[in-house]
Amino acid sequence: MKSRLLALRRRGQATVEYAIITAALLGFGTFGWPFLVQMLNALGKYFLSIYYIIQSPVP
């Protein structure tokens, strides 16, 4: 009886930890989305500028 109760407590703890981690990841994804979009746009501009410099005729 005691070991069964202990197993249920462990399973409950794992469920709570999983729920907290999932909520944190989803929250970061929701609130961090505009920042991520801006960073990807900046990375695209950076690569285009590198390509432009490599293709320029001036050494």
6-38 residue pLDDT tens: 565 666 777 888 888 888 888 777 777 788 889
- How far apart, in whole angstroms, are the C-alpha atoms of residue 15 and residue 49? 48
Say what angle helices 2-31 and 33-55 make with each other, to 10 degrees.
50
pTM of structure? 0.44
The whole-number pLDDT of residue 9 equals 61
Q: How confident is the model at residue 1 (pLDDT cuts 50, 70, 90)?
A: low
pLDDT at 41 > cutoff 90:
yes
Range 46-58 average pLDDT = 77
Residue 4 has pLDDT above 80, yes or no: no
